[in-house]
Amino acid sequence: MSKNTNFEPTKAVIYCRVSSTKQKLEGSGLDSQEHRCRQYADLKGYDVEAVFPDDASGGGDFMNRPGMVALLSYLDAQPNKDYVIIFDDLKRFARDTEFHIKLRREFQTRGAQIECLNFKLDDSPEGKFVETIFAAQGELEREQNRRQVIQKMKARVEKGYWVFSPPIGYKYVSDRGHGKVLVRDEPIASILAEALEGFASGYLQTQAEVKRFLEAKPAFPKDGPNGEVRWQRVQRILSQQIYAGYVEAPKWDVTPRLGHHEPIISLETFERIQERVSGKARAPARKDISEDFPLRGFVLCDDCGEAMTSCWSKGRNKLYPYYLCDTRGCESNRKSISRDKIEDGFAEILQSLQPTKELFALAKLMFKDAWSLRLAESHQQKDQIAAQLRETEKQVETLLERIVDSDNPIVIKAYEAKIGKLERKKLLLAEKAAQTVPAKGRLEEFIEPALNFLANPWNLYENGSLAFKRTVLRLAFAEPLSYSRKKGYRTAETAFPFKLLAEISSSKSEMVGPVGLEPTTRPL
C-alpha cells in the first residue's frame, strides 16, 4: 500500500520470473512476461524505471532469488518514492503461502503497491482470504508437481535406470528403446576400473593411495586446488554400487537392482572394496529421524521459545522416541517428552480445525460469492475495454482520413507514427478484453483443492509424505506451536482461512438486524 494515499503512484518496476535457468535460456518466458507487463504499464500510464528478472525456483525463501533481492534493494535505495510493482501472475510472486505473506509485508513496509495482471489484489478481509487460498493453491500445485516428478523418477529407478546426475566415469546417451541411459565415459571409466580393482586386490593399500593414483592420471578430472582429487570424491567412488552395474535409491525405499548400464567392476569386487573400507565391521543403520519425528522443528519449548529436537532413547528391551528441548540454560533442558504425548496432542489440534458441514457449506458459498463478484467486475471491465477499443478505432479512421487529405510529408509521417501507436494499443486492448473474463471451469480448478484441504487437513497430514506433512503445517498454522511440559499445547495461531472460519463459527448473529453496520435510512 502506498505511503501517500492521495495520489496514484506513477513510477513502476516490473518483476519477471521463470522456474529454471533452462526456461530462461531456451524459452521466451521472461521476455513475454516483460512484454505483457509493459503493455499493462502503458495502459495504466505508469513510467517503468526498471525490470528485475529471476530464474529461481518457485519454492523456498524469496530472499534466495537474486532478482527479488535486487528489487527490494532498489526500493530501499529510494525511500522517498512510491512505486507500483507489476508482475504477470500470482504464481510468479510466490508459490509458498508463508513467503507470499512475508513478501507482501516487505513491499508494504517499503510503501510499494503491487499489481498483478491476472489477479485483482484486494486488502479487504474477503480479498485477503481469497488471495491466501490462491497462494495456498500455488504451493499445493508445486508440491504435487514435485511429488509427480519423484514418482516418475522412482518408477524409472525401480526398472533399473539411473535418474540422477551421471557419476564420474559415466555419461548419458539417448537410446530409442530405453530413453536416457548411462554408458561408460572413456578413458575415465578405465582409469576408475583400474583404481577400484587395485584397491579390492590390495594393490592400492589405502584410500590415500587411491587418491594419489587418480591424481597421477592426466585424463582423470580433478576437483580440488593444485590438481588434487578431493577426499569426498574418493570416498564416493569407493562406496557407489552403480559401478558394479546396480542402481538404488534408499531415500525412496528402492533397493539395489540390476541396472541397464554396463558395469565398470564386478559385484564381487565391489563387496571386497566395502569389506576393506569398513574392516568387515558394519555399523548399524541409523533411523531417519526426520521421518520418525515429523513435528521436529515446528514445536517450540514454552519455557525458552526454541524449537524442540528429538531422539531415540535406548530402554531395556527396545528404543523409545522422545521430543526434548536442547537449549542450554532452559528450565526444560534435556527433559524428554514422549513422542505419543506430543503428536497425539497435535492430532487433536489439527482435527479440531475441521469445520462442520454447515460451516464448510458456508465457506464454499463465500468462495462462490467472491468468484461471482470478481466475474461481474470482469464483465464490466470487458465492456469498458470494448468501449476504449471502439474509440481507438475511430481515432485511427480519423487519422487515415487526414493522411488522405494531406500532402505534407512531415505531417503524414507524424500521422503514421500516431497510427502505429494506436494499432499497438488496439492489440493490447483486444488481448486484455480476451483475458479479462475467466473461462468456464476455472472456479472448480482453483477452489476444489483448497476446499479439500479446508474440509479435512488432518486426513491430508496423516496420509501424506513427510514433505506433504510439512506443507500442511505451513498452510494450517500461522506460526509454530508452543508446548509446555506441564500444561501441554498453548493456543495455536491458525492460518487466516481457519481463523476466519472460527470467527464465523463463534459469531452469535447470523444476520445483521435493521440497525447494523451502517445507520438506517429514513423512508422517502
Q: Can you spell out the DSSP letters for 396-429? A: HHHHHHHHHH---HHHHHHHHHHHHHHHHHHHHH
CA distance 159 to 205: 36
Length of the chain equals: 524
Q: Is the domain 11-151 a CATH 3.90.1010.10 member?
A: no
- The secondary structure of the chain in percent helix, strand, coil, rounded to multiples of 5, reads 55, 15, 30
pLDDT confidence of residue 344: 93
- Domain segments of the chain: what residues? 11-151, 170-278, 357-446
CA distance 389 to 427: 9
State how far the Cα of 500 lies from the Cα of 502, in Å rounded to an integer. 5
Q: In the structure grid, which three cell numbers stand for residue 217, read together?
A: 592420471
> Which pLDDT score is estimated for 8?
55
Place of cell 493453491: 137
- The burial class, CB within 10 Å (0-12 / 13-18 / 19+), for 256 is middle
Q: What is the pLDDT of residue 1?
A: 45
What does DSSP say about strands 481-484 and 170-175: parallel, antiparallel, or unpaired?
Answer: unpaired
C-alpha separations of 417 from 42, 49, 409, 413, 487 in Å: 17, 24, 12, 6, 75
The grid coordinates of residue 163 equal 535418474
Contact 175, 191 (CB under 8 A): no
Whether pTM exceeds 0.85? no
Cell numbers given for 389: 477499443
Q: What is the pLDDT along the chain (524 residues), one digit of tens a residue?
A: 444 455 555 788 888 887 655 554 444 568 888 888 898 888 888 888 888 888 765 455 556 678 888 888 888 888 888 888 888 876 666 656 666 777 777 777 888 888 888 777 666 676 666 666 666 666 677 677 778 888 888 899 888 899 898 999 999 998 888 888 999 999 999 999 999 988 888 777 788 888 888 988 889 998 887 888 898 999 999 999 899 888 888 888 887 888 889 999 888 888 889 888 887 533 333 344 467 888 888 899 999 999 899 888 887 888 899 999 989 999 999 898 999 999 999 999 988 887 777 777 777 777 777 777 777 788 888 888 888 888 988 998 988 888 888 888 888 888 888 887 887 677 667 767 776 776 665 666 666 666 777 778 888 888 877 767 877 887 788 889 999 988 999 988 888 777 777 777 666 444 444 444 444 444 43
Give the Cα-Cα-Cα angle 92, 47, 68 (nearest 5 degrees). Answer: 30
Domain 170-278 fold is: Hect, E3 ligase catalytic domain fold (3.90.1750)
